[in-house]
Amino acid sequence: MLSRRIIPCLDVRDGRVVKGVRFRDHVDMGDIVELALRYRDEGADELVFYDIGASPEGRSVDHAWVERVARLIDIPFCVAGGIRDVETARRVLHAGADKVSINSPALERPALIAELADAFGVQCVVVGIDSIREADGQWRVRTNTGDPDRTRALPVRTLDWIVEAQHLGAGEIVLNCMDSDGVRRGYDIAQLRQARDLCHVPLVASGGAGEPVHFAEAFEQADVDGALAASVFHSGAIPIPGLKRFLRERDIEVRNA
């Protein structure tokens, strides 16, 4: 039976792992490879690296560190940040990443999803979505959230984009609920449930984890395939082995590392 995945997310800026609250005020969390190895040893099922400076600065990921990570870790990892074309994605994948995640560039040019799916297979193509609830009660997408000064609000409804992204060839959706991000009050279950109903590919919850029970709720109530978190792992507030024991006690299938 397929296990539910626990996925630490490492926001990368200038070759270091950083973390901000509500995407602002980034604090240095440590060296990329050191943290990657620590999570691998603790039993993380997968890692995601977001080069948060790449997309707003209009540049692509610097892949020297992708190769450093790939040489040392033996669990899968996904790289995001400024991947705008097949050639850039190919370089990142050849450097050793297992998947690429695209966010802003996919919204700017949705055909990119299909191009990547044709080149590498849908299973390599993750579409990340930053979503926020607007005054009219609808969730809508944001681009370039790595830099608050360049973040743009698009008129696209999150749920419509989830459908379109899959149609174009997304093999996985990471739904980052910005209202919850960094505030540790739990994943946005209501939004994730609606996304789940429309999502036939794997769905990963992002934004809001503060306690082990939040992970359990996302798996039990929104049936997500994976749950992503950053600061609670980086700070040590939630050690992964303890989290997995907690989930196993609730009969949630997780991998024994």
Partner 1 sequence: MRVALVDAGGANLGSVRYALNRLGIEPEVTVDAEAIRAADRVVLPGVSTAAQVMGRLHALDLVQVLRGLEAPLLGVCVGMQLLYERSEEGGVECLGLLPGVVRKLPLAPGIRVPHMGWNGLRTMRGSALLDGVAEGASAYFVHSYAAPITADTVAATDHGSLFSSVVQRGRLCGAQFHPERSAATGARILRNFVEMDF
75 binds partner 1 (CB under 8 A): yes
Distances (CA, A) of 80 to 55, 98, 223, 237, 248: 9, 11, 24, 25, 30
> Which DSSP state fits 96?
T
257 binds partner 1 (CB under 8 A): yes
Give exposure, 193-231, as e/b (b: 16+ Cβ within 10 Å): ebbbeebebbbbbbbbbbbbebbbbbbbebebbbbbbbb
Of 45, 130, 181, 225, catalytic:
130
SS3 37: helix
Which residue, 119 or 213, is less far from partner 1 as judged by CB? Answer: 119
51 binds partner 1 (CB under 8 A): no
- Contacts of 112 by beta carbon, 8 Å cutoff, 6+ apart: 84, 85, 102, 105, 106
Please report how close the Cβ of residue 66 comes to partner 1 at its closest, in angstroms: 9
86 binds partner 1 (CB under 8 A): no
For residue 65, which amino acid is it?
A: W
Which residue, 5 or 184, is less far from partner 1 as judged by CB? Answer: 5
State yes or no: is 25 an active-site residue.
no
Q: By CB under 8 A, which span of 51-59, 132-140, 201-209, 242-250 interacts with partner 1?
A: 201-209
Q: How many residues bind partner 1 (CB under 8 A)?
A: 41
State yes or no: is 130 an active-site residue.
yes
- Asked if residue 205 lies in contact with residue 218, where contact means CB atoms within 8 angstroms, the answer is yes
- So which residues are the catalytic ones? 11, 130
Positions that interact with partner 1 (CB under 8 A): 1-5, 40, 45-46, 67, 70-72, 74-76, 90, 93-96, 98-99, 118-124, 171-172, 200-203, 223, 225-226, 255-257
